[in-house]
Chains A and B, each alone.
Chain A
Amino acid sequence: MTNPQTRSTSDGNPQTRSASDAALERYSRQIRFPGIGEDGQRHLLKARVTLCGCGALGTVLANALVRAGVGHLRLIDRDFIEVSNLQRQVLFDERDVAENLPKAEAAARKLAAINSSVHVEPIVADIDRTNIVELCQDADVILDGTDNFEIRYLINDTAVKLGKPWVFGGCIGSYGQTMTVLPGETPCLRCVFEAAPAPGEAGTCETAGVLGPMVNIIASLQATEAFKILTGHRDKINRELLYFDIWDNVQRRIRIAPLLGKVDCPCCKHRRFEWLDGAQGSQTTSLCGRNAVQVSHRTPAKLNFEEMASHLEKMGEVSYNRFLLKFNVESYEFTVFPDGRAIIKGTADVDKARTLYAKYVGH
């Protein structure tokens, strides 16, 4: 990447100037947009972004940021590419599926071809409370490209603790929502949503499906928020909870500002970082010799098996009684208990088990 400092010097060196002009030429259309301008572009070129998750939202976000010339993009994802991702995960193609590539790695390859001047740092890892601070502490903004609330509350804890802005986005089916969190200035995610949907209740993109355009809309709004934050246009930042259903033609702008200080938020008011400290969230244990992993929650849930079964029966064989629910999908067997604990048979890999849990049980 060209050093923006070099470009901004007016030492009269024509070579420096022409090199800088050439470097900026690819961004000329967004520089011409008054909100960005040359000054804003220089800020983008110097910016560092941590993107958590590189699936549906994450690939749209990464694509927008790299094309716009964000200086450094750290991209973290624990998952591998499957053919069912291609309908909406815009950076991947059939060759990536055939090569069985991790999402972060495949995305980094595509992004390097799109804009080689951006430093993309792919990290194939599960984001958890032990690594998230390190992954986020040098970022100017943290972006949510994840698919579950467990990581979102962890991002929220981290962002509030470090005082960094972050942009939440979520979508399922034809609906989605997004909000921007400026710690201390706007309500945080826990002010707006006090708790995550109970596992199995809210549906996931696997159980309820998702429309590609909905993902693009939410992620594009998130990316624009990142541009505003990185170019210093705080007055332009969205301070509402935006909600869309593009199939039912619903758009809502919900005023959330009065929640700041009004709700007794453990995170941003009392600075209790329950996900980061491990008081909330899930635990995974590989069950030795059984090719199975147990996923359990520190705060027990109360599952509605009837409702879960109605979501899951579209994808595999489900049966349940008062004590447990059994579900077979792909080559895995889930045994889910009413408190949200699950034993996933067919893998000893805890990252894979967490991915499967997020996909089919939710949270």
Chain B
Amino acid sequence: MSITIHIPTPMRQHADGQASVQVVGTNVQTALASLGEKYPALTARIFENGQVRRFVNIYLNNEDIRYLDSLASAVKDGDELAIIPAVAGG
């Protein structure tokens, strides 16, 4: 199953500059693991001690996974995952 993961600008340096990456997976966890296999440096940007870092949010088709099934939320072909960190400046 092909899932599109959108990479936020501050993390793109760890993904060869790409804005989005195609991965496979059956849930959010395995999709992000697949991303981590392609770009290992991203894993440390997204996870800390196995949990999504507290200032990084993961959205599945614009829904926050925290009110879905968190990392166990099922994904299907064509789904989009967006990684969105808190934006500090202004």
Contacts and interface: CB of A to CB of B under 8 A. Distances in A.
Q: Do A and B bind each other?
A: yes
Interface of A: 53, 55-57, 144-149, 169-177, 192-198, 201-205, 208, 210, 215, 218, 243, 245, 248, 250, 252-256, 258-259, 262-263, 310, 362-363
A173 B84 CA distance: 14
A304 B51 CA distance: 18
B24 to A, nearest CB: 23
Contacts of B72: none
Instruction: Name the prevailing secondary structure of the A interface residues.
Output: mixed
A197 B90 contact: no
Interface in B1-50: 6, 8-10, 13, 19
A197 B85 contact: yes
**Shortest 8 CB-CB contacts between residues of A and residues of B:** A195-B54, A170-B87, A172-B89, A258-B67, A205-B89, A194-B54, A193-B86, A57-B90
B62 to A, nearest CB: 5
A208 B90 contact: no
Given A195-B55, A252-B59, A204 B64 contact: no
Given A193-B57, A252-B62, A253-B62, A202 B90 contact: no
Contact of A208 (B10, B53, B66, B82): B10
Given A170-B89, A177-B84, A202 B66 contact: no
A262 B53 CA distance: 18
A169 B90 contact: yes
Given A195-B86, A197-B55, 12 more contacts: A148-B88, A170-B89, A171-B87, A172-B87, A204-B88, A218-B90, A252-B59, A252-B82, A252-B84, A253-B62, A259-B64, A362-B88
Given A193-B57, A195-B55, A254-B59, A259 B87 contact: no
25 contacts: A144-B90, A149-B88, A172-B9, A174-B9, A192-B57, A193-B57, A193-B86, A195-B53, A195-B54, A195-B86, A196-B86, A196-B88, A197-B55, A198-B55, A202-B10, A202-B86, A202-B88, A204-B89, A210-B89, A248-B19, A254-B62, A254-B63, A254-B64, A255-B64, A263-B66
Counting chain A CB atoms within 10 Å of each CB, the highest count among B13, B67, B84, B87 belongs to B87
Contacts, number: 108
Contact of A149 (B59, B67, B86): B86
Contacts of A145: 90
A362 B89 CA distance: 8
* Size bracket, chain B contacts: 20 to 34
Contacts of A245: 9
Given A250-B6, A254-B62, A256-B64, A171 B89 contact: yes
Nearest to B44: A304
Counting chain B CB atoms within 10 Å of each CB, the highest count among A144, A147, A202, A205 belongs to A202
Given A195-B55, A198-B55, A170 B64 contact: no
Contacts of B64: 192, 254-256, 258-259
Contacts of A254: 59, 62-64, 84
B55 A259 contact: no
Nearest to A189: B86
Contacts of B88: 147-149, 170, 172, 196-197, 202-204, 362-363
B50 to A, nearest CB: 15
